[in-house]
Amino acid sequence: MLPRPPTRITLALLKPDLSANNLKVDKVFAHIQKNEFNILAHKKLLWSKADAEAFYGEHRGKFFFERLCGYMTSGHFHALILEKPNAITDWRALIGPTHPPRARINAPDTLRSLYGMTDTRNSFHGSDADETAKSEIRFFFPEFDIAQWEANQAENRV
């Protein structure tokens, strides 16, 4: 029997503009399943300004910081831990380019093309690297034991 390929985890956010419409959320969950992601954890959240500023702190001082924090506190949103081989790359490919109008031209089958509105109201977030994913997962899911998940992955590969 061939060893199972290693799996990865990533943080996925379904942002407030999308989360305001349950039908759209259901369709996105169908896309997630169709693309063979395992959902390891899921929370529906409503942020305070302090929460948004803490998560997006690296962008403080940039022209879009206040607009982004205002957007992320405008309503409920969903945070998910997704798992599969190449989770980060595959999730980012599924959501598509950051700017939805460009996505409609260059990547019309992506989620941002289907559901995003503007570069700020682009409906989705995906971690960009393994370490970023772990840090972001710890922010949203402090109860999720990444070390235990990694140990389980190592056991299951044998």
| Residue matched to tokens 């956010």 | 13
State yes or no: 7 annotated in a binding site.
no
Q: Give the integer Cα–Cα distance in Å for 50 and 106.
A: 35
Average pLDDT score over residue span 24-32:
98
Region for residue 43 given its phi and psi (left: phi exceeds 0; alpha: psi -120 to 50; beta: otherwise): beta
pLDDT tens for each residue of 70-93: 999 999 999 999 999 999 999 999
Q: What is the pTM of this model?
A: 0.93
Cα gap 60→24, rounded to integer Å: 31
Q: Is 125 a catalytic residue?
A: yes
Q: Is 108 exposed, middle or buried (0-12, 13-18, 19+ CB in 10 A)?
A: exposed
112 in a labelled binding site: yes
Would you state the pLDDT for residue 158?
57
- The angle subtended at Cα 49 by Cα 20 and Cα 25, nearest 5°, is 20
pLDDT tens for residues 104-120?
999 999 999 999 998 88
Indicate the helix (H) or strand (E) that contains 81. Answer: strand 77-84
Q: How is residue 22 written in tokens?
A: 């349950």
pLDDT of residue 105: 94
Class of the CATH-defined domain 8-157: alpha beta
What integer pLDDT is reported at residue 4 of this predicted model? 67
Cβ atoms of residues 137 and 9 within 8 Å: yes
Is 106 marked as binding a ligand?
no
Is 92 annotated as belonging to a binding site? yes
Confidence of residue 16 (pLDDT cuts 50, 70, 90): very high
